[in-house]
Structure 1
Amino acid sequence: MEHLPTDAETGLSRSEVRAQIQRGLVNGEEDIKTQSIGQIIRKNIITPFNILNLILGALVLTTGSIKNMLFLGVALCNTVVGCIQEIRAKQTIDKLSLISSPKAHVLRDGKLWEVPVARVVLDDILQLTSGNQVCSDCVVAAGSCEVNESLITGESDPVVKHPGDHLLSGSFIVSGTCRAQVEHVGKDNYAAKITGSAKYVKKPDSEIMRSVNLIIKVIGIVLVPVGLILFYKAFVTSSASYSQSIISTVGALVGMIPEGLVLLTSVVLASSVVRLSFRNALVQELYSIEMLARVDTICLDKTGTITEGTMQVDELHSLTDNMTEEEIRAAIAAVTFTLQDKNPTAEAMREKFPEDPGWEAISTVPFSSARKWSGVHFSMQGTYVIGAGEFILGKRFNTLCPQANKAAEKGQRVLLLAHSDQPFQGDGMMLPDDIEPLAMLFLSDRIRKSAYETLQYFADQNVDLKVISGDNAVTVANIAQKAGLEHANQCVDATTLETDEDIRNAVRKYSVFGRVTPHQKLQIVKALKADGHTVAMTGDGVNDVLALKESDCSIAMASGSDAARTVSQIVLLDSNFASMPHIVAEGRRSINNLQRSSALYLVKAFFSTILAVCFIFIQSQYPFEPIQFTLVNALTIGLPSLVLSLEPNRERLHGKFMLNIIKKSIPGALTMVINVLLLEAIQSFMHFPQAQLSTAAVVLTTVTLFMILFRVCMP
């Protein structure tokens, strides 16, 4: 395909963009992240239970007993309610997705424009900076950057890209700024499945989904042979009429179908999506709500969660006699204005030192969470570096530790300014050997007003909090302690954790981790999961992406990087960590109530299945008709389960979903089976009519179900 000659300084003109769109060389409309309305309706109509109900309804119709077809009305209501709730949830997600979806920054007619990713055309010049996700395959035209391609290749080590190098769609910028010319659009992209907003879709790992599917599979396998045997026994062996045989058989099978269980699961999860939207939370994966109910550990960063994320420079302390304070201030301004990093720390330094001396830069190393420093090599002034002293000076920083620790105890962030006459070493990303300290900068951040209340909530709910930060461990611990974090004094410097075993031991002992690299964040999440914890991870930067992917429930701030929002299951649209208690509480409410309500449906299914098998061997007609089961189910299971699903419930979910509902279901199901079998035994001596036996069975079953409902409703 022929490419337009595009200038990296001006980009395409408006006429060239229009021409590319007319030729179809555009990313195109973004893929719909949710099912279409048609797909939702088809999914709710064409289900194994609905097909089975239609077959059973058709059989009852052949007998002329219209009243016994009432169960079809219930199935229809289930389908309608399920469609309405899912469509409502879909519309909510679609509206919120428009707010949180990434935009592309393109250079056109010499100006920088923000456009939807779908409107990027072939040969556009993209402006990419730290945190951006690459929306189309492109070639670096100017500048350089470090790229993480883990979302598409699985390789987590950053790759340095220079002019002429290729950037793959779906990768994200770790550090640096570059301009790149788009070389593929739409389905031609390397990661076509991530085209549009470059969304990484994680396969749901839902125990509820697996459990419900297993129940459907087992009942489907058992139902057909049991139905055939019951009909054969009634029609052939007992010589009952065709109508009686069909109605008694259908009565047994209707009870075995837990059709409301599937509806309830869909309605509860869809309702939670809508309720969470009122808390400015966008649920990108439906079954992540289940994980919320199980979370017992939350990993979070200090900045933007405990603190407001707006830094200010409090003090500049010189460490050398070879430079005046004015020269030091000029060096800091030269570095920050040359790099143009957009993080709060860089913004604070530019605000404090606003006069750019205009030094000529030869090479730059942008900030990354792995290096924890950034720097510039100037033509006349040498190399200046700003970052964490431990990473710049190594063991030599020990002599400066007393001053740094004193500031850290106040909750201040400490940065080091260092200098060398030599350029960067190795591949241009390594420090010169003769780097020397010039000054220390002390910065501070304000604690959020809601931090104490939020942290206290999780402490009351027995949710363990792990504060994971790139800052000095003492700084983080002091801020966490002021915010009210329990065990905040149990802190560790992650630079001392050298092996996987060190990290496994640390997560059991410490609550605050400082100087953590992105890879260590991933290792911490893995270690917590290996210890049997259900881990939620909150993050907003590219340094959080690997840990977000690995966590059981990933939550991103909308104000953060494209990459973080892309891989997360839930996005906080107001970027307010104070929403977390409400979000966790909603997950617990939904899944705990779903578990209780599911037990009611399984009581009926187990009871009907066991009773049907028993009546294969009992020389008597099955005591229930379809209309009786339909009315009893609506009164004792259907309506109560809907009310139960809306009740407040903040208990953390324990145990396996399937085992929990089976343990609650079996005693009640066996009680009802024994009741009916005792009635059959009494009838064999008393010889009262089948109609009276059927009425007694319905009354006794209804009373027992109400007793079971009462037991399920108890806290």
Structure 2
Amino acid sequence: MNLRIARHTNIKTGLNDEQVLRSQPNVYEDKNSRSYKQIIHDNFCTLFNAINLVLGLMVFITGAYRNMMFVGLVFLNTVIGIIQEIRSKKILDNLALLNQQKANVLRNGKIKSIPMEQIVRNDILMVRTGDQISVDAIVVEGQVECNESILTGESDSVIKKYGDALMSGSFVVSGQAKAQVVKVGADTYSHSILESAKREKQYPSELRDSINAIIRFSTIVLIPTGSIMLIKQLMENLVQWRSAILSTVAAVIGMIPEGLVLLTSTALAMGAVKLSRKQVLVQELYCIETLARVDTLCLDKTGTITQGKMKVVLTDGLGKTSDEEMQYILANMYSCLSDDNATAQAIRTYAGKGDTHCIRTIPFSSSRKASAVVFEGNRAYMTGAYSFIVNQQENWINERIESYAQQGMRVLVLAKGRIMGDQIRGNNEVIGLIGIQDVLRPNIRRTLQYFYKQNVNVKIISGDDPRTVAAIAQKAGVKGRAVDMTTVKDIDQAVQTYSIFGRVTPEQKKQMVVALQGQGHTVAMTGDGVNDVMALKEADCSIAMGSGSEATKGVASLVLLKDQFRAMPSILREGRIVINNIQRSASLFLVKTMFSFGLSLITIFWFSAYPFKPIQLSLVSLLGTGIPGFVLALEPNEERVTGHFLQHVFGRALPGAVMVILSVVFANLFRQPLQMSGAQFSTICTIVASWNSLCVLYTVCTPMTQLRKLLLICMFAGLVIGLTLFHSLLYLVGLTFWQGIYVACNLAIIPDCLLIMKKAVDKTFLRNA
């Protein structure tokens, strides 16, 4: 990448306030959050709203204004959707401010932490481990290792020294440097790539795909079906043009599953708002669905099941070095090293400040698992994992490390030797061991036990020694065996056999997630460090700690802003509640869509007119689907979501839809024997369809709760009131004695017939759902 500094900024003082005001800021359009204008536009300007508007105009032409009630209901639904989405946006935007990515810049001789969009051209950017770069810059002092996989697809770290370009979208793996900003905002080389940097692929969502499939099908069939039905009625001169229009409008209205779309968006938005109250930021709405399907949870040890606050609890000179000497060496090393991870901070706290200058440093990285400092005379000291520092390991040192690791310590070796280039591992002499311990998070055992009870398998993944990881994991209550990933060749087999993994590289973390997904698991991954980024991107649901690196939070679908791992059970519960309730309520909405489509086809080939008027279907929709659907969508249901969404909802909607179609067909067969007029036929169909919708609601509400009982009672009372007090408004007319007997027989057999059909569908259609 060819970048050139036009005017050099003083790297000691940075820009002053006047220069900042004159410079171009790092601002570009945020496509991750819709504006209020977009929300209103997207809710009003939909295909279904356009169709409903046309249908409303058609009814207006007929003069049957009472049948235009559906237009009011559509408008009301749209307004409710807008209000809910705006409310959710306000809450989530406010929460997002707490998670706003920050950058450190040098201004007026002082380091300031500012939001990314306040960086300006020619700023001196202070970059360090874990930072994600949002601008194009050139290193003017220091050295860092960067991961540019978002831009290049290569996961290997790239060393950046004086004069090298830092590309926006990359993140710092190790080191510390100053860089002068050259390009900002939309001018950056990787602007188009950075827009998708949060996630390189769209989150998998069976719910989203299923809803889109239903909408596509409805869109494809309703216009031609309605048009054919209208033409057929007009050409055969069987009904007046006004009646033909009204029956066609009723059929098309019935086929539109508009409430289902509103139900889904409202339920997901409500779920995000509930999680926000627990200080959980939802960055990808459909990840709530993925949470409901999670059966495997991969946890990073440090900072996730532990508090991430390391402490040096032991030094062992192995008979070669005194504690004072070790402390002196470590003080000089970590005064020179720019490492800023929890381990480095713990050693600095223990060792204090050194007084010796160094020639050069090799900072820690997750791939080399060690760091080193070269002093005068080419004397080099290094700390890190034993197997990553020496070529030939000694059994007695391994035994000593083993004994400390079994006590739950993370053991680093202190060694001395010679270093060629950036390669640390070699014929180095180990002169001491450093025991570091992390503290388990409060209530971690209870949290993990919850996941086991919910049939969620827990995997602990760490770059630490597997013995240390196993000791801590077992204290936390993790079930299963441990393995050293440096000895593993078959990752697919390893993830099936083991639950605790040590010495895991960032690339292996990613491969493990992919392997689990390949075995049919839905995987959630938690992490807080740069070494977790690749795995988080691959996971079905990624969860970052609020204190984690900017790069980690940038790719995560959920961010625990207060590092509250104890909130994980409630996050999982919320996901299950949302999706279970959408799945249950969606079947109510599809009953109307399915029987309307079936009756439309029958009308084209048999009936003289569609059996319902628009306002009559409004009654069926309001009592059988509209109100119950939204009430049931807010109920608690924590069962793990399994099976296919479409198969579930269509399977549960099928008995009710078939029952309505059969009831209308039989009513048509008895039309002549019972001497039904067109108005009486429509009245009977409305009563039977309304009763059928309540029976379907009863099956959906089983087993009963107090709320469900109250809902059924209210809907039944609404049906009685509608049929008696508003019969004129609904075009309902009086029935003869024998017609009344026929209706009563229908009402009596519908519940049993529905039950029989439901059992048959459950045994066949839903058996493998």
TM range (shorter): over 0.9
Aligned partner letter, 1:617: F
For the 8 Å contact 1:536–1:553, the answer to whether it is kept is yes
> How many residue pairs are counted as aligned between the two chains?
700
- Which sits farther off after the overlay, 218-227 or 261-270? 218-227
| Pair 1:465-2:458 in alignment | yes
3-state secondary structure, aligned to 2:464? coil
2:342 corresponds to which residue?
Answer: 344
For the 8 Å contact 2:147–2:157, the answer to whether it is kept is yes
Aligned partner letter, 1:59: M
The CA distance in 2 between the partners of 1:650 and 1:241, in whole Å, is 53
2:362 corresponds to which residue?
Answer: 365
Q: Deviations over 1:280-312 (max 9, x none)?
A: 111111111111111111111112222111111
- The ranges of structure 1 where at least 4 consecutive aligned residues each deviate by more than 4 angstroms after the TM superposition are 194-202
1:598 corresponds to which residue?
Answer: 586
3-state secondary structure, aligned to 2:673? helix
What are the residue-to-residue correspondences of 1:212-223 with 2, within 5 Å?
Answer: 212-223=211-222
TM-aligned CA deviation for residue 380 of structure 1? 3.9
Question: Which of the residues 561, 584, 590 maps onto 1:573?
Answer: 561
Relative to the length of structure 1, the TM-score reads 0.95
Structure 2: tracts of 5 or more residues without a match = 704-769
2:285 corresponds to which residue?
Answer: 286
Aligned partner letter, 1:204: Y
| Pair 1:671-2:659 in alignment | yes
The CA distance in 2 between the partners of 1:278 and 1:373, in whole Å, is 41
Seen in structure 2, the aligned counterparts of structure 1 residues 102 and 398 have a Cα distance that, compared at 3 Å, is farther
Q: Deviations over 1:561-585 (max 9, x none)?
A: 0100111111111111111111111
Question: Which of the residues 524, 527, 530 maps onto 1:536?
Answer: 524
Structure number with the bigger relative contact order (C-alpha 8 A, sep ≥ 6) is 1
The CA distance in 2 between the partners of 1:382 and 1:241, in whole Å, is 101
Seen in structure 2, the aligned counterparts of structure 1 residues 9 and 197 have a Cα distance that, compared at 3 Å, is farther
What are the residue-to-residue correspondences of 1:372-391 with 2, within 5 Å?
Answer: 372-380=369-377, 382-391=379-388
TM-aligned CA deviation for residue 159 of structure 1? 0.7
TM-aligned CA deviation for residue 9 of structure 1? 2.7
For the 8 Å contact 2:130–2:549, the answer to whether it is kept is yes
3-state secondary structure, aligned to 2:325? helix
The CA distance in 1 between the partners of 2:635 and 2:151, in whole Å, is 42
RMSD: 1.7
TM-aligned CA deviation for residue 395 of structure 1? 4.6
TM-aligned CA deviation for residue 201 of structure 1? 6.2
3-state secondary structure, aligned to 2:183? coil
Question: Which of the residues 485, 499, 505 maps onto 1:494?
Answer: 485
Question: Which of the residues 636, 643, 647 maps onto 1:648?
Answer: 636
2:21 corresponds to which residue?
Answer: 18
| Pair 1:328-2:326 in alignment | yes
TM-aligned CA deviation for residue 495 of structure 1? 0.8
2:647 corresponds to which residue?
Answer: 659
3-state secondary structure, aligned to 2:670? helix
The CA distance in 1 between the partners of 2:201 and 2:99, in whole Å, is 18
The CA distance in 1 between the partners of 2:231 and 2:20, in whole Å, is 73
3-state secondary structure, aligned to 2:390? helix
Aligned partner letter, 1:254: I
Question: Which of the residues 397, 403, 409 maps onto 2:406?
Answer: 409
TM-aligned CA deviation for residue 2 of structure 1? 6.8
Seen in structure 2, the aligned counterparts of structure 1 residues 201 and 495 have a Cα distance that, compared at 3 Å, is closer
For the 8 Å contact 1:459–1:486, the answer to whether it is kept is no
Structure 1: tracts of 5 or more residues without a match = none
What are the residue-to-residue correspondences of 1:613-692 with 2, within 5 Å?
Answer: 613-692=601-680
2:255 corresponds to which residue?
Answer: 256
The CA distance in 2 between the partners of 1:569 and 1:34, in whole Å, is 14
For the 8 Å contact 1:101–1:197, the answer to whether it is kept is no
- Which sits farther off after the overlay, 298-307 or 510-519? 298-307
3-state secondary structure, aligned to 1:183? strand
Seen in structure 2, the aligned counterparts of structure 1 residues 670 and 404 have a Cα distance that, compared at 3 Å, is same
The CA distance in 1 between the partners of 2:580 and 2:97, in whole Å, is 31
1:73 corresponds to which residue?
Answer: 72
3-state secondary structure, aligned to 1:393? coil
Seen in structure 2, the aligned counterparts of structure 1 residues 65 and 78 have a Cα distance that, compared at 3 Å, is same
For the 8 Å contact 1:169–1:194, the answer to whether it is kept is no
The CA distance in 2 between the partners of 1:135 and 1:579, in whole Å, is 31
2:104 corresponds to which residue?
Answer: 105
2:264 corresponds to which residue?
Answer: 265
TM-aligned CA deviation for residue 272 of structure 1? 0.9
| Pair 1:354-2:342 in alignment | no
The CA distance in 2 between the partners of 1:295 and 1:684, in whole Å, is 57
3-state secondary structure, aligned to 1:481? helix
Q: Deviations over 1:12-34 (max 9, x none)?
A: 233332332xxxx2213662631
The CA distance in 1 between the partners of 2:55 and 2:254, in whole Å, is 12
TM-aligned CA deviation for residue 46 of structure 1? 0.9
Aligned partner letter, 2:401: A
Relative to the length of structure 2, the TM-score reads 0.89
For the 8 Å contact 2:390–2:427, the answer to whether it is kept is no
The CA distance in 1 between the partners of 2:108 and 2:609, in whole Å, is 84
For the 8 Å contact 1:106–1:125, the answer to whether it is kept is yes
TM-aligned CA deviation for residue 381 of structure 1? 6.8
1:521 corresponds to which residue?
Answer: 509
2:8 corresponds to which residue?
Answer: 5
1:442 corresponds to which residue?
Answer: 435
The CA distance in 2 between the partners of 1:220 and 1:198, in whole Å, is 34
TM-aligned CA deviation for residue 452 of structure 1? 1.0
TM-aligned CA deviation for residue 134 of structure 1? 0.8
Aligned partner letter, 1:560: G
The CA distance in 2 between the partners of 1:103 and 1:195, in whole Å, is 16
For the 8 Å contact 2:229–2:604, the answer to whether it is kept is yes
TM-aligned CA deviation for residue 199 of structure 1? 4.7
3-state secondary structure, aligned to 1:122? coil
- Which sits farther off after the overlay, 245-254 or 616-625? 616-625
The CA distance in 1 between the partners of 2:157 and 2:385, in whole Å, is 20
2:573 corresponds to which residue?
Answer: 585
| Pair 1:483-2:476 in alignment | yes
2:233 corresponds to which residue?
Answer: 234
The CA distance in 2 between the partners of 1:28 and 1:232, in whole Å, is 56
The CA distance in 1 between the partners of 2:502 and 2:627, in whole Å, is 52
2:762 corresponds to which residue?
Answer: none
Seen in structure 2, the aligned counterparts of structure 1 residues 508 and 395 have a Cα distance that, compared at 3 Å, is farther
The CA distance in 1 between the partners of 2:192 and 2:564, in whole Å, is 31
For the 8 Å contact 2:11–2:124, the answer to whether it is kept is yes
The CA distance in 2 between the partners of 1:510 and 1:201, in whole Å, is 29
Q: Deviations over 1:30-56 (max 9, x none)?
A: 626310011011111011111111111
TM-aligned CA deviation for residue 523 of structure 1? 0.6
For the 8 Å contact 2:145–2:157, the answer to whether it is kept is yes
- Which sits farther off after the overlay, 31-40 or 522-531? 31-40
2:117 corresponds to which residue?
Answer: 118
| Pair 1:512-2:512 in alignment | no
- Which sits farther off after the overlay, 378-387 or 140-149? 378-387
3-state secondary structure, aligned to 1:684? coil
Aligned partner letter, 2:422: M
For the 8 Å contact 1:27–1:195, the answer to whether it is kept is no
TM-aligned CA deviation for residue 165 of structure 1? 0.8
Seen in structure 2, the aligned counterparts of structure 1 residues 355 and 381 have a Cα distance that, compared at 3 Å, is farther
- Which sits farther off after the overlay, 5-14 or 253-262? 5-14
1:712 corresponds to which residue?
Answer: 700
For the 8 Å contact 1:295–1:536, the answer to whether it is kept is yes
- Which sits farther off after the overlay, 254-263 or 11-20? 11-20
Q: Deviations over 1:55-75 (max 9, x none)?
A: 111000001001000000110
The CA distance in 2 between the partners of 1:195 and 1:257, in whole Å, is 38
What are the residue-to-residue correspondences of 1:85-96 with 2, within 5 Å?
Answer: 85-96=84-95
The CA distance in 1 between the partners of 2:414 and 2:672, in whole Å, is 96
The CA distance in 1 between the partners of 2:365 and 2:457, in whole Å, is 28
Aligned partner letter, 1:627: I
Percent of residue pairs bearing the same amino acid type: 46
- Which sits farther off after the overlay, 343-352 or 393-402? 393-402
